[in-house]
Amino acid sequence: MSEDSESAFDGEVWFITGASRGMGAEFATAALDAGRAVVATGRDTDDVAEAVGEWDDLLVAELDVTKPADAESATQAAMDRFGRIDVLVNNAGISYKGFFEEMTIDEIKHQLEVNLFGQMYVTRAVLPVMRDQRSGHIISISSGAGLSGFAFSSAYATSKFGVEGWMDALHDEIEHFGIDTTVVNPGFFRTTLTSEESMPFTDPAIDDYDERRAEQIEWWKDQGGQQPNDPAKLANALVEIASEEEPPRRFVAGADAVELAKEKAARLREEAEAYPDLSTSMGYDDA
């Protein structure tokens, strides 16, 4: 990949997916406000430009994260404009809501294609740049659902648990090249995630789920505008974290997410110690 650029930027360059609304737009604005150059991407460049505004060191690029060719072309556009990519923020996502048994296979596949494979496609496009630089930082937005699954979000939790495992392993593969990784587990933030575009509901299919489905749909629709956490503060936190010499491998964002992480850690320890004799009796008898 060519590193020639029309106007190389001598500061830090951020590449952000899903920047047309919500957290992605906040991340882009915070990075620009902190003096970084930003490649803000999304499926509709007009939406991205409207959400982020006009900045001298902003490049808006078309990117549907489900299309590897888009990831390659957006990465090349970033290199042509700025000559480097220092921070990749894998933010683009969608959250299908529905009980697993009622969800269509196509919905489940699309959930994984956007949230998991989308992050993989973009990271594969950007990694050669960071490897050549022998520096970089990959920040992947997971979720509280990446720590603990919950009803009506099984496909979403699957996608986020996938991000967690992939990033954990990827860290060990690329740390040698001077590339850092951070998984971010946000709690409930007041974004457009609860909008119809970002949070589609699967169609009813099984009568046995009717009562619980209605309760879940009502609860999720009521969350819009009521989430306790401020996305602008998370954006500023990411700028701070990315500035650290040794960024954390995980950042849990929001008091609600912190409590969830503590509960998961305690439950995991309890489960690991529940059958001490049986669990440790798996070795060969002659060992």
Q: Who wins on pLDDT, 200 or 134? A: 134
pLDDT at residue 2, rounded to an integer: 43
Out of 20, 121, 143, 160, the active site residue is 160
Mean pLDDT of 194-214: 85
| 3-class DSSP state of 81 | helix
Question: Mean pLDDT of all residues in the chain?
Answer: 93
First to last CA, the chain: 52
Mean pLDDT of 200-204: 90
CA–CA gap between residue 179 and residue 173 (Å, rounded): 9
| 3-class DSSP state of 201 | strand
1, 130 in Cβ contact below 8 A?
no
Active-site residue, 95 included:
no
pLDDT digits (tens, 9 = 90+) for 233-281: 999 999 999 999 999 999 999 999 999 999 999 999 999 999 999 999 9
Active-site residue, 156 included:
yes
pLDDT digits (tens, 9 = 90+) for 81-97: 999 999 999 999 999 99
pLDDT at residue 192, rounded to an integer: 62
Out of 20, 140, 142, 154, the active site residue is 142
Out of 20, 95, 156, 159, the active site residue is 156
Task: Give the model's confidence band at 204: pLDDT under 50 very low, under 70 low, under 90 confident, else very high.
Answer: confident
Pair type for strands 37-42 and 136-141: unpaired
| 3-class DSSP state of 99 | coil
Active-site residue, 97 included:
no
In what side-by-side order are the strands of the sheet with 87-90?
A: 58-62, 37-42, 13-16, 87-90, 136-141, 179-186, 250-253
Task: Give the model's confidence band at 70: pLDDT under 50 very low, under 70 low, under 90 confident, else very high.
Answer: very high
CA–CA gap between residue 174 and residue 109 (Å, rounded): 28
Q: pLDDT > 70: what percent of the chain? A: 94
Task: Give how far Cα 252 sits from Cα of 102, 141, 146, Å.
Answer: 31, 10, 11
| Predicted confidence (pLDDT) at residue 196 exceeds the cutoff of 60 | yes
Q: What is the pTM of this model?
A: 0.92
Cβ-based neighbours of 38, under 8 Å, separated by 6 or more: 13, 14, 15, 16, 28, 31, 32, 52, 55, 57, 58, 59
Indicate the domain borders of the chain: 13-279
Mean pLDDT of 213-218: 92
CATH of span 13-279? 3.40.50.720
| Predicted confidence (pLDDT) at residue 174 exceeds the cutoff of 90 | yes
29 membership: H or E segment, kind and range: helix 22-33
pLDDT at residue 190, rounded to an integer: 75
